[in-house]
């Protein structure tokens, strides 16, 4: 994708960039000079490259200057808007303009009589140079602090650097120390004791983000207490980042405590933040109901009315914890508030009943849904069927599945995966295979790649090679990449030469498999001591494979070992 041009060719530098780094492409800065990563498909989907025609333009600066000088910075409103957007993107990605490049661009702007842009670009460049210098000093400070345990020697070394303290500088150093929270805190305290500088909301928020980890949680709460005492508050952006980290790390007590703290302050989390926290609590195998009601109570005490999402969050934990009477009470309260139970509400109840092994009651919930005018959707059916499979009630799960089909609800890849796993759990491997084939043939369903892989491994485990080959062909037909590894292991131990030849055919799409695939199989045969079968298989291979240097070397080394023996 693109060229392997070096950023330094164009007067653009990036801190920490190794010369010749192939991740960096340069696209013309004049009429679209910008330095940009080689984005992955995931990054491109965000639109930062795909929607920016300048980022797609691949032109060397000297070529642009030579051939397009008349068109450079034409002054078109949209063109200049994109120019400034590109500059900002470049700065955000850590690139800096060198003096020569700045001078050339400024000269073009002057010739175009774009006086406002000349002044703005001058200010932009000066800020960029200042930021670059600040970054270098911040890195030096971070290196000193992280080099050893905090001591008088470190304080002396920091003093010798003659640092000019500012909010921006302190935040930059803290970011450099983010993987060393205790050392970040030591630096934070040292700064606070320095004459002429006092911590504020910005620096307190910065250090709080760094300390919000399991191994520094005590220090985190100490800083929060200190922060409150100094009259400062966590901002909402910091809260959202920290609570997500807590929830991701399963630090639910800290997440709830922080939520309560924020709801008592001036910057209150939204209803969506409340429902997300309730969802995280319910995700535990045994949800803490005390936490659930603490969150709901704090949300309500701030003058909020419980939304459907918040009711669902409470209901989800109650059903998961097996507190069905309390869950029913919440449902009644929700109804009185004007929210009728929907598929989400009923699905949560079905999940809880299945978890409690109350499968018959779970089935009756779907009848209750229909009686109340709520048609079960694929999610509700999947939860019910998965509950039966988890309880080793695969036969009943199939009955539920048949009932679902009768009612006109189409299966999807998730549900098929649930059923296949249910069959495999009971070692009904052939039944799982037949179900998948039938679903693909009858409904044109496209199973997940993971479903195919799982079933192939299980089929080979019981010597069902033909069935495994059939799935390999299906995968190819449905545009999935081949899955050779389990076949190679199987063939080298149990397969015939004809089986191996069939395997190569199965791997072929529009041409022969890669040479690496052949080498892999031959090595496996030799490893199992099946030298004669490997030679026989070689004669069945295409001519270009037989003459391949690596293949000849492989067979030659094997023959040499046999002769020596």
d(CA 188, CA 209) in angstroms, rounded, equals 13
Residues 6+ apart with CB under 8 A from 190: 150, 155, 158
Residues in the chain: 565
Both tokens assigned to 361: 């009651």
Q: How far apart are CA 458 and CA 429, in angstroms?
A: 7
The per-residue pLDDT for 297 is 96
Residue 111 pLDDT: 81
Please give the pLDDT value at position 202: 93
Residue 360 Cα to chain centre, angstroms: 38
Classify 478 as helix, strand or coil: coil
What confidence score (pLDDT) does residue 514 get? 81
d(CA 385, CA 400): 7
Q: Is 12 helix (H, G, I), strand (E, B) or coil?
A: strand
- What would the 3-class secondary structure string for 389-452 be? HHCCCHHHHHHHHHHHHHCCCCCCHHHHHHHHHHHHHCCCHHHHHHHHHHHHHHHCCCCCHHHH
Written as tens digits, the pLDDT of the chain (565 aa) is 333 333 333 334 444 333 333 222 322 333 333 333 333 333 333 344 344 433 333 333 333 333 333 344 444 555 677 777 877 776 666 565 666 676 778 787 888 778 888 788 777 766 665 565 567 778 888 888 888 888 888 888 888 887 888 888 888 889 989 999 999 999 999 988 887 889 999 999 999 999 999 999 999 999 999 999 999 999 999 999 999 999 999 999 999 999 999 999 999 999 999 999 999 999 999 999 999 999 999 999 999 999 999 999 999 999 999 999 999 999 999 999 999 999 999 999 999 999 999 999 999 999 999 999 999 999 999 999 999 999 999 999 999 999 999 999 999 999 999 999 999 999 999 999 999 999 999 888 999 999 999 999 999 999 999 999 999 999 999 999 889 999 999 998 998 899 998 888 888 766 777 888 888 898 889 888 888 888 898 888 888 888 888 888 888 765 545 544 4
- Contact predicate 208/222, CB 8 Å: no
Rounded-to-integer distance, Cα 88 and Cα 86, Å? 5
- Rounded to whole angstroms, how far apart are CA atoms 522 and 540? 12
Nearest to 379 by CA among 348, 408, 358: 348
Nearby residues of 114 by Cβ (< 8 Å), 6 or more positions away:
73, 75, 80
Residues 218, 335: Cα–Cα separation, whole Å: 42
pLDDT of residue 392: 94
Look at residue 328 in the predicted model and tell me its pLDDT: 96
- CB distance 15 to 135 below 8 Å: yes
**CA distances for 452 relative to 53, 213, 421, 486, 557, angstroms:** 40, 39, 11, 12, 37
- 3-state DSSP call for residue 180? coil
b/e per residue, 201-212, with b = 16+ CB within 10 A? bebbbbbbbbbb
CB atoms within 10 A of CB 55: 23
Residue 204: C-alpha distances to residues 142, 256, 376 (Å): 18, 20, 50
DSSP three-state, residue 27? strand
Q: Give 286's contacts (C-beta < 8 A, 6+ positions apart).
A: 321
């Amino acid at each position: 994708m693109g060229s392997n041009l070096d950023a330094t060719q164009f007067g653009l530098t990036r801190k920490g960039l190794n010369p010749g780094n192939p991740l960096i492409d340069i696209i013309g800065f004049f009429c679209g000079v910008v330095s940009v990563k080689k984005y992955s498909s995931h990054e491109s989907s965000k639109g930062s490259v795909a929607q920016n025609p300048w980022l797609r333009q691949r032109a060397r600066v000297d070529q642009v200057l030579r051939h397009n000088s008349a068109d450079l910075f034409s002054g078109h409103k949209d063109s200049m808007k994109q120019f400034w957007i590109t500059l900002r993107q470049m700065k955000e990605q850590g690139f800096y303009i060198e003096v020569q490049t700045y001078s050339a661009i400024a000269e073009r702007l002057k010739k175009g009589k774009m006086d406002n842009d000349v002044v703005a670009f001058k200010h932009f460049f000066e800020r960029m140079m200042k930021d670059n210098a600040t970054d270098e000093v911040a890195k030096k400070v971070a290196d000193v602090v992280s080099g050893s345990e905090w001591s008088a020697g470190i304080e002396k070394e920091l003093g010798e650097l003659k640092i000019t303290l500012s909010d921006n500088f302190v935040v930059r150093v803290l970011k450099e120390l983010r993987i060393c929270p205790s050392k970040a805190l030591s630096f934070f305290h040292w700064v606070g004791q320095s004459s002429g500088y006092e911590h504020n909301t910005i620096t307190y928020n910065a250090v709080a983000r760094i300390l919000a980890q399991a191994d520094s949680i005590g220090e985190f709460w100490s800083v929060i207490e200190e922060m409150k005492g100094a009259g400062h508050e966590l901002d909402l952006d910091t809260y959202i980042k920290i609570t997500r980290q807590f929830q991701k790390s399963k630090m639910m007590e800290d997440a709830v405590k922080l939520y309560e703290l924020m709801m008592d302050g001036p910057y209150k989390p939204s209803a969506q933040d409340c429902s997300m926290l309730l969802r995280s609590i319910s995700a535990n195998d045994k949800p803490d109901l005390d936490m659930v009601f603490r969150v709901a109570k704090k949300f309500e005490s701030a003058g909020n009315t419980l939304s459907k999402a918040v009711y669902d969050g409470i209901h989800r934990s109650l059903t998961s914890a097996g507190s069905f009477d309390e869950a029913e009470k919440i449902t009644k309260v929700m109804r009185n508030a004007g929210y009728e139970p929907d598929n989400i509400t009923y699905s949560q109840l079905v999940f809880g009943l299945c978890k409690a092994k109350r499968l018959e009651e779970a089935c009756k919930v779907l009848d209750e849904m229909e009686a109340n005018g709520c048609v079960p959707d694929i999610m509700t059916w999947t939860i019910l069927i998965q509950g039966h499979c988890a309880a080793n009630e695969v036969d009943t799960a199939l009955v539920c599945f048949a009932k679902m089909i009768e009612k006109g609800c189409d299966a999807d890849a998730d549900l098929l995966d649930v059923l296949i796993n249910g069959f495999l759990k009971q070692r009904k491997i052939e039944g799982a295979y037949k179900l998948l084939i039938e679903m693909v043939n009858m409904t044109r369903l496209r199973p997940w790649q993971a479903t195919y892989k799982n079933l192939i491994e299980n089929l080979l485990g019981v010597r069902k090679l033909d069935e495994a080959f059939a799935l390999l062909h299906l995968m190819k037909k449905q545009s999935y990449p081949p899955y050779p590894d389990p076949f190679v292991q199987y063939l080298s131990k149990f397969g015939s030469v004809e089986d191996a030849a069939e395997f190569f055919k199965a791997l072929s799409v529009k041409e022969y498999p890669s040479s690496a695939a052949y080498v892999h199989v031959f090595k496996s045969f030799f490893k199992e001591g099946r030298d004669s079968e490997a030679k026989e298989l070689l004669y069945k291979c295409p001519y270009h494979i037989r003459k391949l240097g690596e293949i000849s070397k492989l067979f030659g080394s094997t023959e040499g070992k046999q002769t020596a023996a």
